[in-house]
Amino acid sequence: MKSYTFTTPLSEADMRKLETGDVVYLSGHIFTARDMAHLRMKRLLKENKPLPKPFEGAALFHAGPVVLKNKDGTWKLNVIGPTTSIRMEPYAEMVGSIGVRAVIGKGGMGEDTLEACRKYGYVYLQAAPGCAAKLAQGIERINDVTWFELGMPEAMWDLQASRFGPLVVGMDTKGNSIYKDLRTSALNRIDVLYPA
């Protein structure tokens, strides 16, 4: 297990050297995106319309932050924690095709994401669930928000990060997944405990 600190935009070469279990800290822009933001991005791409942010080398966080609006119109982040990522599995190919290099969330993703990680050179990073206040300490400020009409958790937030993490590589570009390994190990254990 190694530890790395990267600043966005992330490079494909850096992501391809990561292995499951490595620890990553991120600085720079991190964009949040949940179900509705992914759906809207898919629609924009289908209509050949521009996306609202530059996603080449981006880190995309499956999260819905809790924020407050200041009197001057800026935003203050209270807490931010990962949401369950498997819901975004249908967008694995799209995420890779727009140049995203790191997806952050919890619980892992499926085979489509594993294949897209290998094909496009992006990784899945596990954020610690239940640590929303701690994770918020790695965010210096909110740069802006897009699609606020979708609601606070579903909007796309542009976060300015400073050593955000620790994040653990849960899926790498080589076809490895700690979630797949855990499932295989658990199923093998069941066969030992409860033979047919």
Residues labelled catalytic: 38
- In degrees and rounded to multiples of 5, residue 113 shows phi and psi of -70, -40
What's the CA gap between 179 and 174, in Å, rounded?
A: 14
DSSP 8-state assignment for residue 156: E
DSSP 100-147: --EEEEBS---HHHHHHHHHHT-EEEEEPTT-HHHHHTTEEEEEEEE-
∠ Cα 191 84 12 (to 5°): 95
Distances (CA, A) of 182 to 2, 107, 196: 20, 11, 21
